[in-house]
Homo-oligomer: A and B are copies of this chain.
Amino acid sequence: MRQSKLFTKTRKEAPKDEVSKNAELLIRAGFIHKEMAGVYSFLPLGLRVIEKLKSVIREEMNSSNGQEILMSTLQRKELWEVTNRWGDETVDVWFKSALNSGGEVGFGWSHEEPITYMMKDHIASFRDLPIFVYQFQNKLRNELRAKSGVMRGREFIMKDMYSFSRDQKEHDEYYNGMIEAYNKVFSRIGLGEDTFLTFAPGGAFTEFSHEFQTVIDNGEDTIYINKEKNIAINDEVLNEDTLSNFNVTRDDLREVKTTEVGNIFNFGTQKCKELNLFYNDKEGNKVPVWLGSYGIGVTRLMGVIAEKLSDEKGIVWPSSVAPFDIHLVEISNGDEEVKKSADELYSTLSKNGVEVLYDDRSTSVGQKFADSDLIGIPIRVVVSKKTLAEGKFERVERKSGATDMVDESTLLSQT
């Protein structure tokens, strides 16, 4: 894309009321727009990052036999009353509205209830199981406080997956496979090193649930980790029992600030019993289905990456989720030959499937480089009188600043 056509402008300052580092960077670089506290719109660069994140997650969910669907935002009061999750005293993040035709609707903050209820149309026999479905859906949560930018939105995109299994064995197998799938996701998007499978409070059916927590300054959560032993414990379950369970003492653990980027939860058969989702087993017995739910905060990941992987100059996107592969910057200062060379390179790379943001603006060199650092595309390629003289292009790695001279064929493999 030609940057002269991109409608967003970078800016020196974020809005005064923006207190989070991730939103400040993303706003300044033109990835998001703040609508109100905890509510952001996604501009062309930001939407590209979201689609890249979705694409990585989708691949791993499809590899885990997930089938993609899209549930509704509007939620039926009567359904959530069945499981006692309609009242504000049990769920305090509902948005609710009157219906013009009478009654009240809620706005989806999670989807276990409607998805379990829907499965009654598709599950009757043991032959219909297991079923794994997922969606990328816009969740709405009436958070009292929303000061962490896109890391805790009142509106945010979540990948939520649900597994429906015949029994505990089948459930556990999938659950453990999902831990692996999540590890792959976090590793592929550059957060693997600092993301920990963390033991958190369980429910009626399990001692623990599992969170995936990423270490980050100013994180809203606190966990205790031992990197050597690969142990991470949520502060809510840090007690003598848990410590002896893991055969560690408090001194073995280090306290770190984190944010929760994913969670997986075992509902056992409770939810399906409540909503009457049973199947007939081989012997003809009516048996309740096992439910697991598996979330990843997609827009939150965007915030975590922007905040955690940034430096003083701006964002540093990992190539797997960067809005473009290459930021091509022409420094022609009106020199037609330089301009022509940059135009040709842009055209060749684009035709060959390399995604290029091409800074063809008639702006100062300083402004172009500052914008390029702020936007944070992993590779910058400079075309100037100097590079033209050498018959090569200057390539700069955003992360390290490492520079070398390369030819077109090297750039063609830069995806």
Contacts and interface: CB of A to CB of B under 8 A. Distances in A.
Given A97-B107, A105-B95, A107-B97, A7 B73 contact: no
Given A121-B11, A133-B7, A69 B97 contact: no
Contacts of A118: 33, 41
A133 B41 CA distance: 13
Contacts of A92: 100
Q: Which of A75, A100, A128 counts the most chain B CB atoms within 10 A?
A: A100
A347 interface: no
A270 interface: no
A402 interface: no
B43 A74 contact: no
A195 to B, nearest CB: 26
A47 B76 CA distance: 22
Size range of the interface on A?
35 or more
Contacts of A5: 65, 67
B41 A97 contact: no
A179 interface: no
Interface string A44-84: 10010010000000000000010111111111100000000
A122 interface: yes
B72 A41 contact: yes
Contacts of A133: 7
A178 interface: no
A42 interface: yes
A387 interface: no
A393 interface: no
A381 to B, nearest CB: 23
Contacts of A343: none
Contacts of A131: 7
Contacts of A76: 35-36
A140 B107 CA distance: 10
Contact of A99 (B6, B11, B44, B142): B142
A190 interface: no
A291 B92 CA distance: 40
A219 interface: no
A265 interface: no
A42 B114 CA distance: 12
Contacts of A97: 95-97, 107, 142
A154 interface: yes
A101 interface: yes
Nearest to A127: B4
Contacts of A43: 69
Contact of A69 (B39, B47, B73, B75): B47
A301 to B, nearest CB: 16
Contacts of A388: none
A93 B99 CA distance: 10
A149 to B, nearest CB: 14
Given A69-B47, A100-B143, A131-B7, A114 B35 contact: yes
A72 B271 CA distance: 31
Query: In the complex, which of the residues A8, A33, A107, A154 has the most CB atoms of chain B within 10 Å of its own CB atom?
Result: A33
A68 B96 contact: no
Interface in A273-332: none
Given A9-B122, A41-B69, A74 B35 contact: yes
A50 to B, nearest CB: 8
A316 to B, nearest CB: 23
B101 A144 contact: yes
8 contacts: A5-B65, A7-B128, A36-B76, A41-B71, A47-B70, A50-B70, A95-B105, A101-B146
Given A39-B74, A41-B72, A47-B68, 7 more contacts: A7-B128, A35-B72, A47-B69, A72-B155, A74-B140, A93-B100, A101-B143
